[in-house]
Chains A and B, each alone.
Chain A
């Protein structure tokens, strides 16, 4: 058998097996889901770093204020990171409208999300800190759901599920809807079962203050050969917590909503940022391999190393396939099957969400495009991410003032 078949078959096999395992854990293993204590209602500080969000940040604050949680125990600490638009004005409006709950600050210089969070935390008082993104809309039960998960001992951080608001805007948003849903409902289940989620999304990241304080310095001083790193703070924070022997968990009942990128440039920059943070984490894990092995379970180590290694290998597999003309000979010939599989995945997805989250329904035909995006993304984005570790800005929010 040609080695190229093995090279492509191996990761696909792993993905299929992983899908099967996580589906099983989702459906059959009760220990996958934590026992929640809704009686536990600590004080909560919602840390809201903001950059060029405009009036949407006000909507975000409104959604938090509608939470079904004792609002006297909730404070919102918003920090504007030198936005070039009127985001800070909106934060000030929210502060005026909700003087008991909202406090607005502005960084003296553009510092990045991680430093904005640290600044917000230093101006907060809550026992539990919830880090959020300024473009998310919160479900009213989000805070209660997340906080209830801290009942289990040694839970360091709890994440929530991110849904898409602009599902049917175009093909890209539909594809992202499926990916997001799959990531939270299926992909993270094996990590949930092990209580070792490797990356809690920064959209909805709840952490106990004591643990945040322990990792704050490392987060703010994170750099790559002297160049400050501003992306992937959510992944880095999660990893730091795991290295401290703490547990992490995703509560899929804690929901927030965000808009997915609706144009190629934004989507590409977002994916590039995420890919870069994932690859940084991979190399950082390899660099601190001994420490990781001492603290974390083998399953978690595999979850850290394997996907990242595959990600790095994909571009070289494509190059090899192109040079040997395997691509034109086989991949193009199998394209209908490849596209068909994604179509079937879209159908299955629709069948499932019809019962659980009908607002997330998509067109299965458009999901077929996901296959083409995967090829482009796994090649170009990965290579570009590997070659741009020295880039600090996000690229999706414009430039600071």
Chain B
């Protein structure tokens, strides 16, 4: 992982450039991973994704408009992690991973984050019951809430829970971005 400040220094770019490229869709929102640090919140990136992307942008910026670059990048295969690599992560239950993948050979990091959280939660909830769901659309800023009602626990995935039925109680919550940071640091 590389912090935002380290990235600016390493690639000799400014905040203005970085945020303009984010606004123009050249750097996906989900690549910005926020983490709590002693001084507040800091943003990190997966170095293997962000460095090549910025190098591409710097190479292309005099040849293509932003829209053209965005089109070029959208045609690239999304970066997924090979399932064999994912199986080596000791924070993820390999059995859960196999069931979730159901024959697929790769997985996105946000899906891995959910499987990691389900591994952590197994026992509190019946994690197996959730493995048939598709977690590929889960966003970095989503939170997994474990809510209980009448001695049973359930899973909710949302960016926030503004209104909750009074009969439900939140007993645990996990931020997807924290899980992504954990996995990206060890994968």
| B is a partner of A | no
Binding site for B on A (CB under 8 A): none
